[in-house]
Amino acid sequence: MIWLRQNGCPLVLLVLVLWVPATPSDRAQESGTLIEAVEFDPCHYDCAPFTRPSLIYCVQSGDRILIGARKASWRRTSSDMFEFQGKPISVRQDNGSLWIVRPDQTEMRLSRGYKVDVFHNPVCTAEIHRQWLAHIGSIPRPSNVPSQATLIPESDHSYFWVSCTFVPASNWDACSVWDSAGAKYAVREVVNQRDRRAVLEPDLQIDPLTTTNDYEFRLKSGVTLADWAKSRVNNIPSPDSPPPLPPDATSRPRD
């Protein structure tokens, strides 16, 4: 508060209000769970000491999944918090950063981002794919890609299409794959990974949020479709591959 005076008489009262932006420590902490932490090196550890791996974290806070990463130190330490996977933690965030806080108030700052998907937990993969799909936006479907084909993101700018149908004569599901330009480049012969039975067409709904490659496909029911053959040479199944089992038409497929 400042008084301006002239000849001893007060003229103007000025009130100065200082705005101080909130610091990270001022932001409210939220309870959460560290779902998964992964060390990732795109160079496969062949570029040291010129580069360091990244530590990538997936945190659940309420109904939100938060992803953050930072560069690893040269030696793994307790501050990396890998031992807190599956355990409660506290978290703070802003548009660009994420702070994971241990029970002893030790905290770790992460940069938020969705560049790579190296997680095993489908909840974490789904959040990254959701961000990728939002970045890709509405893509015109090539004319030779059927309307029932599903767009599967591989990054925030690359993708492919897949559509599956049951083949009764072979007891497998045939999944056709097209690249982003609409060129068909593969037909995968797949079955339920768990019971080696084909999935019937009403349930052949590919999940774009949890399918991570073009040779195994995860359905919205949670079933994973994988090659029925033990192995292949020049796309020919190995002779010791047992044939697929008939689908169970009396019940929905289970993973």
- pLDDT per residue as tens digits for the range 208-229: 999 999 999 999 999 999 999 9
| CA pseudo-torsion sign 76, 78, 79, 84 | positive
> Which range is least confidently modeled, 100-109, 124-133, 232-241?
100-109
| Residues constituting the chain | 255
Nearest alpha carbon to residue 215 among 173, 166, 169, 155: 173
As a whole number of angstroms, the distance between CA 215 and CA 176 comes to 10
Q: Which residue has the tokens 């044939």?
A: 243
Q: Which comes out higher in pLDDT, residue 1 or 188?
A: 188
pLDDT confidence bin for 249, thresholds 50/70/90: low
Nearest alpha carbon to residue 188 among 177, 201, 199, 202: 177
The angle subtended at Cα 163 by Cα 170 and Cα 148, nearest 5°, is 125
* 96-124 mean pLDDT: 90
At a CB cut-off of 8 Å and minimum separation 6, what does 239 contact?
none
- Summarize the chain as % helix, strand, coil (round to 5): 10, 40, 50
Nearest alpha carbon to residue 122 among 197, 198, 58: 58
Average pLDDT for the chain: 86
Is residue 19 predicted with pLDDT exceeding 60? Answer: no
- pLDDT per residue as tens digits for the range 136-170: 988 899 999 999 999 999 999 999 999 999 999 99
> Which range is least confidently modeled, 40-54, 133-147, 191-205?
40-54
pLDDT confidence bin for 28, thresholds 50/70/90: confident
